[in-house]
A and B are shown apart, each in its own frame.
Chain A
């Protein structure tokens, strides 16, 4: 029974966890890696300070 509960718990978490991780990767790509001029300029100091490759 415990195993069943644990398994169903994992299943209910799997999709939201993957969704959260994908959203997170998209967000750090946007703030840290996209080279569009406006984004680059706005995020410039943060990119350097966070150790992202900047320009």
Chain B
């Protein structure tokens, strides 16, 4: 049984992570590198002269971009392990788990791990002002966990008490508020920050839809193999 969890999560995580790593290099990395030019002071805005929105950027960096793909695969394998565990509990409660239903689980994962924390702690472009990183990480984990519980209650709850608790859990972290910086000191133009957040969330949704679908597919396939072997 343990191998069913590990195999389906590894396949789903590595496969979606590889695709997402490439999408990230194509759509998020150029925005990030552009922002870093402002972060390092190589470019400045609000100066006397207008700055082009299309700077020359360094090309493909094998070490840096290769590490990005590897860490994306690792991150989504981590998420896949959590997702497959949740799917197995869902299956016990009557949910159908396969590649198609996995898409819905993926959207839920995106909401829990990207959209819910990002609603108050937007994906950070390099160079932004931010509060203490430990405080933000604690808030991030708290928000992701409460969103996971909330979505579970929405999907598997049987009454209004469960659904009401879900709404409270979704809202609470944002009512409490994320750790925010005291003052804004970031050197990066807001246009780049906004594009970065939009791209990060968009790629995050694509990532989780792929991850959910692959996880559902491999979970079902490994289950069939196990049943045939038994």
Q: What residues make up the interface of A, taking CB atoms closer than 8 Å to B?
A: 6, 9-10, 12-13, 16-21, 23-28, 30-33, 35, 42-43, 45-46, 48-55
Contact = CB atoms under 8 A, between A and B. Distances in A.
Contacts, number: 129
Interface SS majority for chain A: helix
Given A20-B81, A24-B80, A48 B133 contact: no
Contacts of B67: 42-43
Interface residues of B, number: 52
A53 B5 contact: no
B1 A13 contact: yes
Interface of B: 1-2, 4-6, 9, 24, 28-29, 32, 64-65, 67-68, 71-72, 74-75, 77-86, 88-89, 92, 113-114, 117-118, 121-126, 130, 133, 136-137, 140, 196, 199-201, 203-204
Given A9-B92, A13-B92, A42-B71, A24 B2 contact: no
A48 B126 CA distance: 7
Interface SS majority for chain B: helix
Contacts of A24: 9, 77-83, 85
Nearest to B199: A49
Contacts of B124: 48, 51, 53-54
Given A49-B28, A50-B200, A54-B133, A16 B5 contact: yes
Contacts of B6: 20
A28 B75 contact: yes
30 contacts: A13-B88, A16-B1, A16-B4, A17-B84, A17-B85, A17-B89, A19-B2, A19-B5, A20-B82, A24-B79, A24-B80, A24-B81, A25-B78, A25-B82, A26-B78, A27-B74, A28-B75, A30-B74, A43-B71, A45-B32, A45-B65, A48-B28, A48-B200, A49-B32, A50-B72, A51-B113, A51-B121, A51-B124, A53-B133, A53-B136
